[in-house]
């Protein structure tokens, strides 16, 4: 995941369309899964460019959090969350087949339709936590 942060503190996010299998009609931050032979930072930079069209220099990417996530299906994933304050290009919805829009959100007060996983990542970020265990129950509530 990448928390692309503007000078006013807002974080770039995407609103998924109704076709998403894991976050239909919900807001998430930029992120995804690694491709074969990718390092964490490479995958983060690729996902950021694929989803928003912007580029961040590897030297401007900073790790800010690791998360251990357990979803409602019981599957566990370990994730890395990066932050960046500098980028090249104007953010846009570069995956119109997956996302309805991009938006700049307040990490301290995310939208009500923010995915529970993203909501917890943002809460950890705001609190300065470098690690978080996140469970999303079948009800969709994050703990």
What are the structure tokens assigned to 79, written together? 């994730």
What are the structure tokens assigned to 48, written together? 């950021």
User: Is residue 36 assigned to a domain?
Assistant: yes
16-42 pLDDT per residue, tens: 988 766 777 899 999 999 999 999 999
Q: Quick one: DSSP state of residue 57?
A: -
Domain encompassing residue 130: 2-135
Q: Domain of 69: which CATH number?
A: 3.90.79.10
Is pLDDT above 60 for 141?
Answer: no
Sign (positive or negative) of CA dihedral 60, 63, 65, 66:
positive
Torsion-angle region of 89 (φ positive above 0: left; ψ -120 to 50: alpha; else: beta): left
User: Is residue 28 assigned to a domain?
Assistant: yes
User: Is residue 141 assigned to a domain?
Assistant: no
User: Is residue 131 assigned to a domain?
Assistant: yes
Specify the pTM: 0.90
What is the number of structural domains in the chain? Answer: 1
User: Is residue 140 assigned to a domain?
Assistant: no
Asked whether 132 and 70 are in contact (CB, 8 A), the reply is no
User: Is residue 38 assigned to a domain?
Assistant: yes
User: Is residue 13 assigned to a domain?
Assistant: yes
77-126 pLDDT per residue, tens: 899 999 999 999 999 999 999 999 999 999 999 999 999 889 999 999 99
pLDDT at position 17: 86
46-64 pLDDT per residue, tens: 999 999 999 999 999 999 9
Please state, rounded to an integer, the average pLDDT across all residues of the chain: 91
User: Is residue 75 assigned to a domain?
Assistant: yes
């Amino acid at each position: 995941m990448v928390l692309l942060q503007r000078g006013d503190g807002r974080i770039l996010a995407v609103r998924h369309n109704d076709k998403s299998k894991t976050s239909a009609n919900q807001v998430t931050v930029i992120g995804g899964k690694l491709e074969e032979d990718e390092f964490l930072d490479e995958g983060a930079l690729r996902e950021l460019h694929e989803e928003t069209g912007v580029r961040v220099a590897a030297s401007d990417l900073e790790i800010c959090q690791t998360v251990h996530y357990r979803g409602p299906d019981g599957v566990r994933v370990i994730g890395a969350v990066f932050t960046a304050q500098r980028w090249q290009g104007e953010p846009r919805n570069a995956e119109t087949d997956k996302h309805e829009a991009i938006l700049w959100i307040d990490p301290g007060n995310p939208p009500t339709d923010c995915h529970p996983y993203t909501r917890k990542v943002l809460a950890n970020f705001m609190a300065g936590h470098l690690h978080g265990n996140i469970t999303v129950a079948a009800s969709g509530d994050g703990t």
